[in-house]
Homo-oligomer: A and B are copies of this chain.
């Protein structure tokens, strides 16, 4: 069988891989995206990256592309993205297909592809509906319903990071402003400025999600407060997802999940206190993601293979 080419194009880094029929990575390459260079230069570099993992003598069967949304998946376009300033209606699928002599190329939202990969080969096998959340700088998400990517009427679902919640001061925030790595950094800076609680973070130059996470893992009380607060907000997001989708599994990935029960414990507590009834919390509904950093490459290859077969 011909191998499958997959690309994961992100605002910061991009990856390419060649996968075999069992969706194992045969070859893999990575680069900085440098999106500020503009679409033409970036597409050129993406093609070079893709060529670096393929064998010139063996055309891939399909090209799967993971990209940040919003996308026009039918036309293969990146419409725009918060992480891609100035990009508009960029024909990423055609650019890759053309570079590989017309091999069919399919673009899909990166978090949707993460959901698909975890559903077929990761922590959520057979779990339907499945919700996938990736919690790092922001919070992305995807859903599988009836075995297929669920993308709603216009292809824009699901965006759980953009769920609106109200703070105690009355201001309105997105879930990803309250329960992401960015939230951990913001919360710590706020606590360091407003309070006098001792913390190893006071000696650090850069207070970001990673620094707060490491401090929490080292037992720093102020950092632990931040993680507990973010985990509680995550719990509210999860309760809302459970009441709306009644998922068989919610797969949790992304760098913030390295905090484990420090982060998930408060979320579980919130769920126990606020869920309507136990039918909304099937056994083992919250599961750590299994496929790691290459989840979107696997999802892109799976999706392209499936799309070609349709």
Which residues from chain A sit less than 8 Å from chain B, CB to CB? Answer: 70, 79-80, 127-129, 145-146, 150-160, 162-170, 172, 236, 239-241, 243-248, 274, 276-277, 279-280, 282
Given contacts A166-B165, A168-B169, A169-B168, contact A154 B280 (CB under 8 A): yes
Q: Give the CA-CA distance A280 to B240 in the complex, in Å.
A: 19
Q: How far is the CB of A211 from chain B (nearest CB, A)?
A: 27
Write 8 A-B pairs (CB below 8 A) sorted by A numbering. Answer: A70-B279, A129-B157, A145-B146, A154-B246, A157-B244, A158-B246, A168-B170, A172-B236
Query: Closest 5 interchain pairs by CB?
Result: A152-B246, A153-B248, A168-B170, A157-B246, A156-B246
Q: Give the CA-CA distance A6 to B276 in the complex, in Å.
A: 28
Q: How far is the CB of A138 from chain B (nearest CB, A)?
A: 12
Q: Dominant SS at the A interface?
A: loop
Measured between beta carbons, the chain B residues less than 8 angstroms from A160 are 243-244
- Asked whether, in the complex, the Cβ of A157 is within 8 Å of the Cβ of B245, the reply is yes
- Asked whether, in the complex, the Cβ of A162 is within 8 Å of the Cβ of B243, the reply is yes
Measured between beta carbons, the chain B residues less than 8 angstroms from A152 are 129, 245-247
Residue of B nearest to A150 (CB): B145
Beyond A80-B277, A157-B243, A158-B245, list 9 extra A-B contacts (CB 8 Å). A129-B152, A145-B146, A156-B277, A156-B280, A159-B243, A162-B276, A164-B240, A164-B274, A172-B274
- Asked whether, in the complex, the Cβ of B70 is within 8 Å of the Cβ of A163, the reply is no
Measured between beta carbons, the chain B residues less than 8 angstroms from A151 are 246
